Amino acid sequence: MIIVMRPNVSDKAVMNVISIVEEHGLQTNLSRGDQVTIIGVIGDKSKLLTSNITLLDGVDKVVQVTESYKLANRQFHADYSVIDIGGYKIGGDHLVIMAGPCAVESEDQVIQTARAIKKAGACILRGGAYKPRTSPYSFQGLEEDGLKLMAAARAETGLAIVCEVTSLQAVETASKYVDMLQIGARNMQNFYLLKEAGKTNIPVLLKRGLSATIDEWLNAAEYIMSEGNQNVVLCERGIRTFETATRNTLDLSAIPIIKAKSHLPIIVDPSHATGIKELVNPLAKASIAAGADGLMIEVHPNPATALSDGPQSLTPAAFQSLCEELRPYAALEGKHF
Ligand code: PEP
Ligand code: MN
């Protein structure tokens, strides 16, 4: 952190800032020029309320030189993390494919989907049991009964399972069943939920908020990690823009940016990013080319009858041919599935 003082600041004001900073156990480095006076601050800045420093006499501004997230930051963890989800790895040379229905609806629906996605090459089954719907009158999910159906599908197929949690109570219940907890876009800044997931040792799939910056997203990951759970996987799922042709706008640039800023794996969800089944294929390919560690794709045995997100869901047959098409793209990036 650098404190920039106002032009022609008095020695008294400079010494006052230095002594306040040093009283907090931090070191300072003064550079007094004709035009500009700056005070470099070295040490654990969490000991200091930087917004209050800007209020001190003679201070012009405070400039942060390192990001506020540390555990998620690649600066302090150069090697990319590889995270184990029920025996399957996310990160490294394995391209992970997660697929399944938007919502768990019935035993038949989940088992049929699980068998089909496994055959196509997916290793993680997704399915919502707690659905964060825009309208309170839309299908809200089967809750614990849905989790039981997901666990039954795992027992039958050997796939790992990921389910969204929308409350502290849901974290407690889902922890008994799932291999990975999902925190959805709408809850990306639900800090109590993030901390609760951070207290478990279950890997967390953290989706990007609808209007979250990359910095806010990485700080959300930091909330989970600061509670002890280092197993966080990020998921880009599109952000709100002025464009109305798609449900959201897929921010492909987030993939290489995250790769530069963080060691955490990042996957892409082209289904929620676009809301249109025809766009899943080209954007899945683009995501692999941009360096994604995996994909999350909605699949339903009969999208026309789906209780949520039918228009963006692929049939099992369409998913099978998508996976076949994706293999050479993965190979070009030195990945396989
Ligand atoms: C989901 O994956 O089921 C979901 C609701 O996605 P998002 O949080 O990205 O909208
Ligand atoms: Mn959905």
- Domains located in the chain, CATH noted: 2-64 (3.30.70.1140), 83-332 (3.20.20.70)
* Distance, CA of 308 to CA of 141 (rounded, Å): 10
What is the predicted pLDDT for the residue at 39? 96
**152-156: long-range contacts, CB 8 A cutoff, minimum separation 24:** 152/107, 152/110, 152/111, 153/110, 153/111, 153/113, 153/114, 153/125, 153/127, 154/86, 154/114, 154/125, 154/179, 156/111, 156/114, 156/115
Contact 32, 8 (CB under 8 A): no
Residue 101 Cβ < 6 Å to ligand 1: no
Closest CA to 104 of 140, 80, 69, 67: 140
What is the predicted pLDDT for the residue at 46? 78
The burial of 312, by beta-carbon neighbours within 10 Å (0-12 exposed, 13-18 middle, 19 or more buried), is given as buried
What is the predicted pLDDT for the residue at 54? 93
* Distance, CA of 205 to CA of 185 (rounded, Å): 11
Residue 102 Cβ < 6 Å to ligand 1: yes
Residue 100 Cβ < 6 Å to ligand 1: no
What is the predicted pLDDT for the residue at 51? 77
Identify the residue whose C-alpha is closest to ligand 1 atom 3.
102
Q: What distance in angstroms lies between residue 138's CA and the mean position of ligand 2's atoms?
A: 12
Residues of the chain with pLDDT under 70: none
Q: What distance in angstroms lies between residue 324's CA and the mean position of ligand 2's atoms?
A: 23
* Distance, CA of 275 to CA of 270 (rounded, Å): 8
Contact 264, 71 (CB under 8 A): no
pLDDT tens per residue, range 89-143: 999 999 999 999 999 999 999 999 999 999 999 999 999 999 999 999 999 999 9
What is the predicted pLDDT for the residue at 20? 94
> Model pTM?
0.93
What is the predicted pLDDT for the residue at 33? 87
Q: Rounded to an integer, what is the distance from CA 90 to the centroid of its chain?
A: 13
Identify the residue whose C-alpha is closest to ligand 1 atom 10.
185
Walk across the sheet containing 27-32 and list its strands. Answer: 27-32, 37-42, 2-5, 59-63
What is the predicted pLDDT for the residue at 44? 82
Q: What distance in angstroms lies between residue 329's CA and the mean position of ligand 1's atoms?
A: 25
